[in-house]
Amino acid sequence: MVQDITQFYLQISPSCTIRVRKANDRFTMTMKSDEMYIREEIEFPIPEDAWFRLLNEIPMQPIQKRRHTVRWDGRLWSVDVFKGSHKGLVMAEVELSKAQKITKLPSWIGEEVTFDPRYYNQNIASLKGKNDKKRT
């Protein structure tokens, strides 16, 4: 499965992150607690016109990526290939039902960045990439 995703953040704080996302033709808002590994997450649909209104109000560039879902060793992995300002960045992650360590990683996995806050999507969103342009 492949999804084209554009997302941005309305709030990034120590207690809660609010993300707004367009994934293919689905528009959602997600509220996440900011626990490191086990996060409470509430997601709900929003109207398309609300997504575009919010997009035009944010001060930072949205994240654009193509997500590939890959099954490997019985688990579903999300492989995000970033576009736009962050072109060249590729990240893979696996969602686990509880905090546990995976002992066998795919050979296509590179550097482990789970503990590196530079690679959290909300931090990537706040970084200006080399191709940033003002939206009109």
Residue in this structure with the two tokens 């060249």, named with its chain if needed? 88
Sheet arrangement for strand 63-72: 41-45, 26-33, 16-23, 2-12, 63-72, 75-83, 90-94
Single-letter amino acid code for the residue at 135: R
User: How big is the chain, counted in residues?
Assistant: 136
Rounded to 10 degrees, the C-alpha dihedral 78/82/83/89 comes to: -150
Q: What CA–CA distance (Å, rounded) separates 81 from 34? A: 24
* CB hemisphere CA count around 29 (13 angstroms): 12
* 120 in active site: no
Task: Check 9, 37, 119, 120 and give the catalytic one.
Answer: 9
Catalytic residues: 9
